[in-house]
Amino acid sequence: MNPRAAKAIINGVLIGVAAVVLFPLLWMVSVSFMQPGEASAFPPPLLPAHATLANYHELFARAGMGRYLFNSLLIASAITLLSLAFNLSAGYAFAKLQFSGRERIFQVLLGALVVPAQVTMIPLFLLMKWLHLVNSYGGVIVPALASVFGIFLVRQYARSIPDELLEAARLDGAGEWRIFLRIVLPLLKPIVVTLAIFTFLGSWNDFMWPLIVLSDQGSLTAPVALAALSREHVQDNELMMAGSVVTILPVLILFLVLQRHYIQGLMLGGVKG
């Protein structure tokens, strides 16, 4: 085959695949601007005849989506900030600080990676009930405060910090926490960004645990509320599409802005994020 034909075929296929992959997302945006009922026609319309914001109005004014998005934002931000603090300090210690049993404890943590989170959900629910955290932000946030994956990622990265640097700081009389905050954290910046995106996207998109631990209308996250809405409003395509748009848009934008860090982290870790 001559190279020009090969080039045309490969790029043609890529364009075709990208079109098929992106189509559902683009169609979602288009339908969200249609009049109620407009999408239920044959053949299905691709673009709204008269674009309207009515679905978004309905979504925020009557379905309370603003509250759910706020809940999601608050929960995902809290998990991201707090778990970064827990995972960064632990990951750094496993890489660079001496304490008895360090390697053994780390091996046990790695072994725990094979246990799916779903196994813990029933006792965790009872524990949360006992702690009075069911139906509260805390019920979603507290179990996510530290993760083996996060500790692992930080440890792998922190191992490249030269010991001489830390020793020199110690000779100058700096305390361990001061060294961590002043010297180590700036060096860990790339992995901090990567881990922050992973954690934020993961918490925002999480479904099963929030579904279990949140049932009070006011405390629902956007995905849980959307699932409930979609069960009530099976026929309201346009409204549901607007709901999907506002649920997906924040994470999609965040990804597009910071994708370099996200994809680098994926290639480095190669482990489920």
Partner 1 sequence: MKRERTAWTFVTPALMVIGVFFALPVLAAFALSLTDFDLYALANLKNLRFVGFDNYRDVLAAPLFWKALLNTLYFVAVGVPLSLAASLGAALLLNSPLARFRGLFRTALFAPVVTTVVAVAVIWRYLFHTRYGLINYALVHLGIAPIDWLGDPLWSMPAIILFAVWKNFGYNMIILLAGLQGIPPDLYEAARIDGASAWQRFRFITLPSLRPVLLLVSVITVAGYFQLFAEPYVMTRGDPLQSTVSVLYYMYEEGFKWWSLGRASAIAFLLFALTLAVTRVMLYLSRRGERR
Stretch that binds partner 1, among 54-62, 63-71, 186-194, 219-227 (CB under 8 A): 219-227
Q: Measured from the CB of residue 111, what is the shortest distance to partner 1 in angstroms?
A: 11
Asked whether 21 and 231 are in contact (CB, 8 A), the reply is no
257 binds partner 1 (CB under 8 A): no
271 binds partner 1 (CB under 8 A): yes
Stretch that binds partner 1, among 18-26, 54-62, 63-71, 159-167 (CB under 8 A): 18-26
231 binds partner 1 (CB under 8 A): yes
Of 2, 24, 103, 172, the one binding partner 1 by CB under 8 A: 24
Task: Reply yes or no: is the peptide bond before residue 43 cis, omega within 30 of 0.
Answer: yes
Q: Which is nearer to partner 1, 121 or 165 (CB)?
A: 121
Q: Show contacts with partner 1 in window 66-125 (CB under 8 A).
A: 86-87, 89-90, 92-94, 97-100, 105, 109, 112, 114-125
Of 143, 152, 166, 261, the one binding partner 1 by CB under 8 A: 143
Residue with tokens 């979609």: 230
- CA angle, residues 247, 248, 249, in degrees to nearest 5: 100
Q: Which is nearer to partner 1, 53 or 252 (CB)?
A: 252
- CA angle, residues 6, 8, 24, in degrees to nearest 5: 120
Catalogue the long-range contacts made by 176-184 (C-beta closer than 8 Å, 24 or more residues apart).
176/97, 180/89, 180/92, 184/92, 184/96, 184/158
Q: Which is nearer to partner 1, 25 or 47 (CB)?
A: 25
